[in-house]
Amino acid sequence: MRERQLAVALRQDTPIPLAVEFICDPGDVLAIFGPSGSGKTTILRSIAGLYCPHEASVRSGALTWTDTATHTLTPPHRRRVGFVFQEYALFPHLTALGNVLTALGHRPRAERRARAEALLDMVQLAHLTTRRPHELSGGQRQRIALARALAREPDVLLMDEPFAALDRVGRRALQNVLDQLRRAFDVPVILVTHDLDDVVRLATHVLLLEHGRTVAAGPIAALMSRPDLMFLRASTGLGSVFEAVVASTRSERGLLELAFDGGSVLATALPGVAAGVPVRVRIPAREVILATSAPEGLSLHNVLRGTVSAVHVEPDLDAVMIQVTVGHVPLLAEVTRDAVSRLGIVVGAPIHALIKSVSIDVLPSAR
């Protein structure tokens, strides 16, 4: 195993069904995505040593934390795990600085204050070190919780619905901070969430979970562009996710040109985004129109020529999911059965994907 690589395999039938197996490398963010009650938090607790399934293996680099086959069970306090909870779990009587100091007992006393202050600076709270939790916003409290988790110098960072209690502004601010920190600390990050926005913004890999069992898993671009994941369609709506680079800014037209491995698209401009910046792009499947020939005289900017690479028909639904490969990037389009029949859409057929600029979501890249 690679140093700090996290390898997990969990299985049991009762009381909470589990059948999952995954690896998360340093610097990667594995988003465990699924509905409430699907076993997401149980997986985190199993990694942290707070719960042990009937059959379990948890390894961090060369260390075996759990192995039921050999009766190995390292206690939680001996696992280098940083854990960020939904409810913050801060000490209410301590200041922001004091809360972070509680996690620095492994460092020489003379170093602790400076390290705590440095961590609070990393989460952009250096000016609030003397505030107590009740004097801070939800987003600020969660950033203190994140600084405290990182103070343990963990080999893995676990985050259980860390954005759930935050408003949109607080959520986005914490997402940005977390993205910067996971690059700086280079440890595996396991993010439990039921919100697709968290997945699209932060994840490098995704594990879809339902009733404790893996529905699908893989790199985000490959997984989100699969046409057969009706599980996602029902919960959030399917849509392609891929990496791109800002090729140019066209501020006079309110547009960005985004180059990807297959061509380029025009999206609505974002403040402060410059040419050369890597971004992540999401295009909802319902926002893609298919045509057998390139149309003219339309208000939309993006007409991408590709090839039909998959057609998924769900027996109980009128909608059909079409995967169109443009260059090396798979896009999804959701169309009716009638459209498939009228256009003669079959695997291997040439096709044009039409996408409105306002339908393209542009986010900072997670790479």
DSSP, residue by residue, 349-364? -EEEEEE-GGG-EEEE
Domain boundary among 176, 202, 228: 228
Tell me the residue type at 174.
L
Structural domain boundaries enclosing 185 = 6-228
Check whether residue 222 and residue 247 sit in a common domain. no
**Which of 182, 198, 228 is at the close of a domain?**
228
356 with 293, same domain?
yes
Cα 201 to chain centroid distance, Å, stands at 6
Instruction: Quote the number of domains for the chain.
Output: 2
Q: Is residue 280 part of a domain?
A: yes
Would you say residue 159 lies in a domain? yes
**Token pair for residue 16?**
């909470």
Q: What pTM was estimated for this model as a whole?
A: 0.90
Identity of the residue numbered 215: V
Please identify, among 206, 228, 250, the residue that sits at the C-terminal boundary of a domain: 228
Instruction: Tally the residues of the chain.
Output: 367
Structure-block tokens of residue 81: 């795990």
Q: Is residue 191 within 8 Å of residue 164, measured between CB atoms?
A: no
Would you say residue 182 lies in a domain?
A: yes
Identify whether residues 101 and 24 lie together within a single domain.
Answer: yes
pLDDT tens digit at each of 367 positions of the chain? 567 899 999 999 988 899 999 999 999 999 999 888 889 999 999 999 999 999 999 999 999 999 999 999 999 999 999 999 877 789 999 999 999 999 999 999 999 999 999 999 999 999 999 999 999 988 899 999 999 999 999 999 999 998 887 888 888 888 888 888 888 888 999 999 888 888 888 999 999 998 999 999 999 999 998 998 877 777 777 899 999 999 998 877 888 999 999 899 999 987 778 889 999 999 999 999 999 998 887 778 899 999 999 999 988 778 899 999 999 999 999 999 999 999 999 999 999 999 999 999 998 876 6
Whether 129 maps to a domain, the answer reads: yes
Both 344 and 221 in one domain: the answer is no
Same domain, 219 and 255: no
Instruction: Kindly state whether residues 47 and 71 are assigned to the same domain.
Output: yes
**How far is 204 from 221, CA to CA, in rounded Å?**
8
Query: Is 346 within the bounds of a domain?
Result: yes
Give yes or no: residues 212 and 296 share one domain.
no
Whether residue 340 is found in the same domain as residue 253: yes
The CATH number that applies at residue 318 is 2.40.50.100
Beta-bridged to residue 6, according to DSSP, are 24, 60
Would residue 330 count as lying in a domain?
A: yes
318 class by beta-carbon count within 10 Å (0-12 exposed, 13-18 middle, 19+ buried): exposed
